[in-house]
A and B are shown apart, each in its own frame.
Chain A
């Protein structure tokens, strides 16, 4: 599947659904479990990385939406941290997990071997993420900074999907 075919496929996917409650604590908890599971089945990702990406992202979102609030496992991110910081950490962990799984644990290699145009964009996004994280540390009640952080992570995921189809 090439880049352009992949884009056409993406357009056929359903639009994102905004959950009506905070999903990050549960996602953070499940990530820990998933990380262990992933380490046990490392190397078992023979399918196309781009398809893996989509599958992981959709599965994570679907699982989160299907689970009732009472079924959410206890959050593992430090409870003492302000809510927004915990959400930011959970968000980053979720996207990092998607990157690692989507690239079949070859995220570093993918990045090193990618088109310089993609590398430049990733660098731009890294800088933006660092600045946003720092800003959120200073102003942990700024929901909009978390929104921007999510935007940056989504851009990174989107770019990686494009690069993977190379």
Chain B
């Protein structure tokens, strides 16, 4: 169906709008080249295999992919009013997209009118420090990086098929995700959802209203905190590991291997407690209930606290 048929317009109106429409079209065509993003010519600079790469962008995208060369290569496009600041030496390369007029642009009515895109290739084991405001950040195929830090305010932050000793990843309202291997993970959001897959070692996740889903191999320490977002963990806890989970109203689901060895203490004020390990759930004298006891030999420690969220300790 012709979409115009759904919004019939009188002939008189149609005629009177035509000159304005034509003028608008002409203006759009004429102004398009002025607002078009400027391509960033592909450029490369040497960087040590264990060097550090930093990038910042306000809006648009930062896309980082690893390769097997000891150099950084970048291309992409700069939105209207943006400029690219490059600093480089053998151990550090920094790319910053900044406003041409030098003013700060975090203000929603002062910022760049167009997205800027950085497409970067880095040595696979380089360290990364990536910052954005509304720009999305994606990182792929890092291998053995000492540390990766990625932060955005409203943009999504995603790392895939990557391994690093230490990962710090956060967004306020954007979703955050990691798929790969990391010795230490610190992930944080306010309203964005958070998904961590493949972590081992120490994992810490914090959200306010976003949900947190963690799929781990074996963690030594797992700390999770939420106000109203749900927390969902599935993985193994090391023999002397520690798990500490706090939630106000979000539901907590912890799935562990049947042969887990841990001492469990769980408390809820009004939420329901349940488990698949035969632990006793007792009502407090006042409001609230507790669930505690030993699973297996009781070598690790699990502490869960909730106000009104349900807590479910599952076995797999």
Contact = CB atoms under 8 A, between A and B. Distances in A.
Interface of A: 1-4, 7, 114-118, 120-121, 124-125, 127-128, 131-132, 135, 138-139, 142, 144-145, 147-148, 151-152, 155, 159, 162-163, 165-166
A118 to B, nearest CB: 8
A124 B208 contact: yes
Nearest to B133: A3
Nearest to A124: B191
Contacts of B307: 135, 138-139, 142, 145
- The 8 closest A-B CB pairs, nearest first, are A166-B107, A115-B108, A2-B104, A166-B106, A144-B246, A3-B106, A128-B227, A144-B305
Contact of B228 (A1, A3, A131): A131
B151 A128 contact: no
Interface of B: 56, 58, 96, 98, 104-108, 110, 131, 133-134, 151, 153-154, 172-173, 190-191, 206, 208-209, 225-228, 246, 248-249, 269, 287-288, 305, 307-308
Given A2-B106, A117-B173, A138-B269, 18 more contacts: A7-B151, A114-B107, A115-B108, A117-B134, A120-B173, A128-B208, A128-B227, A131-B228, A132-B248, A135-B249, A135-B308, A139-B269, A139-B307, A144-B225, A144-B246, A145-B248, A151-B206, A155-B208
Contact of B153 (A117, A131, A145, A151): A117
B44 to A, nearest CB: 24
Contacts of B246: 144, 147-148
B267 to A, nearest CB: 8
Contacts of B105: 2-3, 166
B307 to A, nearest CB: 5
A163 B153 CA distance: 10
Given A2-B106, A115-B106, A115-B108, A151 B172 contact: no
B163 to A, nearest CB: 23
5 contacts: A1-B104, A142-B269, A148-B225, A155-B208, A159-B172
Contacts of A118: 153
B106 A165 contact: yes
Contact of A3 (B104, B206, B225, B308): B104
Secondary structure at the A interface, as helix, strand, loop or mixed, is: helix
Contacts of A124: 173, 190-191, 208-209
Nearest to A119: B108
Contacts of A117: 108, 134, 153-154, 172-173
Contacts of B305: 142, 144
A159 B133 CA distance: 11
Contacts of A155: 172, 190, 208
Contacts of A142: 269, 305, 307
A139 B173 contact: no
B178 to A, nearest CB: 20
Contact of A162 (B110, B153, B269): B153
Contact of A132 (B98, B133, B151, B227): B227
B77 to A, nearest CB: 19
Contacts of A131: 227-228, 248-249
